[in-house]
Structure 1
Amino acid sequence: MTGRALEGEAALVTGGGKGIGRAVVDRFVAEGAQVGVLVRSAADADDLVRAHGDRVAPVIGDVRSWDDNLRAVTTVVERFGRLDVLVPNAGVYDFSVPFEDQTGPEIAARFDELIAVNVKGYLLAARAALEPLRATRGSIVFTLSSSSFYAGGGGVLYVTSKHALVGTVRQLAFELAPEIRVNAVAPGGTRTGLGGLASAGADATRLDAIEGFDRMVAKTVPLGFLSEPEDHADAYVLLASRSASRFMTAVILPSDGGLEVRGGGRRKRG
């Protein structure tokens, strides 16, 4: 890609106040885009405005709410005149609680909360953005995960939600072509503040606070280190760019340190 890949375009990122979402917002702005951001807190909204001024349009809301998703899309179109790229990104984690350690009622409550954020929130964002994206022949770039393909990166609830999104990407790519391209980035282990489930009493727990998390990921992936949110941001730019990916849809781009080739042998130490 040459020049600024998203010059003159407008995007919406959900869950863009922290972590991978925030890195995507920062990168999109650097590439010339104006960006709406659906965030959970006024503090996140204020921080975005301090960093990017009128290049961003934060909206405080909940991705589980149809009204909040529609309000975020409307804000982008009213502020920036168009919507070219949607990045459904907000997520919640189950912290790998074993299946047999959860009662039936616990599974019911936790499943409803996790799926509402990780899957329903994506579908609501896509539906709210449908007509504006069709008008610009734009694109959707979902955030998936290495847990969309492999076991062991979370508990059964989280892995179920991320596997479900593979079907979401493929079906929407099929239904929305040729007007809207639908792709995804699948990050591996990343140093983020991804939070837990309120229904499990873990909403104040953060992924990056787990002792030894960085060492565990570094030992697992062939590249041998825990990624930062910024390590994935250019993959989103690639899939959002009309010039760089105009013949790409239904693509799920791994950004996971080489999990697919880890095999069963011991990784060579440098």
Structure 2
Amino acid sequence: MGWLEGYSVVVTGAGSGLGLAIVERFITEGARVVAFDRSEEKLKTLKVRLGSDVEIVVGDVRSSRDNAEAVRVAVTTFGKLDTFIGNAGLWDFGGSLPDTDAEKLDSGFDELFGVNVKGYLLGAKAAHPALRASGGSIIFTLSNAAFYPGGGGPLYVASKHAGVGLVKQLAYELAPDVRVNAVAPGGMNTDLRGPASLGLADTPIGEAVPIDDFMEQSLCLHYAAKAEDYTGSFVLLAAKDQSRTVTGAVFDVSSLGVPARPTESLGIPSALAKD
């Protein structure tokens, strides 16, 4: 029997990358999952493969209505909601302040913060009543960029620092009924993309940056982590019997290394540079 036997969970950004790995791991631990993503194609593929243990919701995390629908499906289909995992995110491809056009900063901020911060806030708002009823928890995906510079440009790093504040404030507000925590992974080769307003929606991080090489070269473990390597911390924080006293915490599960922007350290020009 897994740690999450009988749990009902919503995962945003579930169609690929870390979100997909979380869905797969949670199912092996006994949970049933609502996979919430904007890509209908990815979700349909996921549903065919995982079957009745997963339900799918196509939507935008920036929409309060779509977040509410994901929660509704979990409660209606599985009878309750135990954990809401805000995971959908965008990266800024390391665009620095000096090298980024002011108009791109403007539009990029709105889109990236809309997904990385507002999406989490709206998800928590939608999930709170059901989580209060079950004594459940919220888990956000942050990043080692929530603690250190160099994991991206100012848009991404600021959004992840904002996520830390969101964790602490919500843990304070929603106690004692709902625990709120986060996991901060390091870099990995996934389908993570950037804001469409910056022309970065069609470029996965692994195509733009040799992220595996960077991780192996710069981190003390000399290991390029895969998405599934990070899922255990999400299981731990979701499992009530394993983490009942934990709230307001951000688990930094990245390997120690030298803070450096991958785009600069590997000689790759900023994706947001001025024309």
- Name the counterpart of 1:170: 168
What secondary structure does 1:121 align onto?
helix
Residue 226 in structure 1 maps to residue 224 in structure 2? yes
What secondary structure does 1:99 align onto?
coil
Equivalent positions of 1:199-210 (< 5 A) are 199-210=197-208
Residue 135 in structure 1 maps to residue 133 in structure 2? yes
For structure 1, the 5+ residue unaligned runs are 264-270
Matched residues in 2 for 1:213 and 1:75: separation?
36
Deviation at residue 168 of structure 1 after TM alignment: 0.4
Matched residues in 2 for 1:241 and 1:28: separation?
10
Could you tell me whether the CA contact under 8 Å between 2:143 and 2:185 is conserved in 1?
Answer: yes
- Name the counterpart of 1:118: 116
Q: Which amino acid aligns with 1:228?
A: K
Matched residues in 1 for 2:168 and 2:176: separation?
13
- Name the counterpart of 2:85: 87
Matched residues in 1 for 2:103 and 2:77: separation?
44
Could you tell me whether the CA contact under 8 Å between 2:136 and 2:177 is conserved in 1?
Answer: yes
Report the TM-score when normalising by structure 2. Answer: 0.92
| Residues 59-117 of structure 1: CA deviation (Å, up to 9, x unaligned) | 00111111111111111111111000010000011100121122322211110000000
Deviation at residue 52 of structure 1 after TM alignment: 1.4
Matched residues in 2 for 1:189 and 1:125: separation?
24
- Name the counterpart of 2:236: 238
Matched residues in 2 for 1:9 and 1:228: separation?
25
Of 148, 156, 178, which residue of structure 2 is paired with 1:150? Answer: 148
- Name the counterpart of 2:271: none
- Name the counterpart of 1:21: 19
| Identity level (%) | 46
Q: Which amino acid aligns with 1:241?
A: A
| Residues 148-180 of structure 1: CA deviation (Å, up to 9, x unaligned) | 001111011000000100000011111111100
| Residues 116-142 of structure 1: CA deviation (Å, up to 9, x unaligned) | 000000000000001000000000111
Matched residues in 1 for 2:19 and 2:33: separation?
11
Q: Which amino acid aligns with 2:228?
A: E
Could you tell me whether the CA contact under 8 Å between 2:188 and 2:211 is conserved in 1?
Answer: no
Q: Which amino acid aligns with 1:210?
A: A
Of 178, 184, 187, which residue of structure 2 is paired with 1:186? Answer: 184
For structure 2, the 5+ residue unaligned runs are 260-275
Residue 54 in structure 1 maps to residue 52 in structure 2? yes
Q: Which amino acid aligns with 1:160?
A: A
RMSD: 1.4
Q: Which amino acid aligns with 1:131?
A: P
Of 192, 210, 213, which residue of structure 1 is paired with 2:211? Answer: 213
What secondary structure does 2:216 align onto?
helix
| Residues 162-201 of structure 1: CA deviation (Å, up to 9, x unaligned) | 0100000011111111100111100001111100111111
Matched residues in 2 for 1:49 and 1:125: separation?
22
Of 97, 111, 121, which residue of structure 2 is paired with 1:99? Answer: 97
Deviation at residue 211 of structure 1 after TM alignment: 4.4
Matched residues in 2 for 1:27 and 1:213: separation?
23
Matched residues in 2 for 1:225 and 1:141: separation?
25
- Name the counterpart of 1:268: none
- Name the counterpart of 1:266: none
Give 4+ residue runs of structure 1 displaced > 4 Å after superposition.
Answer: none
Matched residues in 2 for 1:18 and 1:212: separation?
19
Q: Which amino acid aligns with 2:136?
A: G
Deviation at residue 45 of structure 1 after TM alignment: 1.4
Could you tell me whether the CA contact under 8 Å between 2:142 and 2:163 is conserved in 1?
Answer: yes
What secondary structure does 2:189 align onto?
coil
- Name the counterpart of 1:67: 65
Matched residues in 1 for 2:102 and 2:255: separation?
36
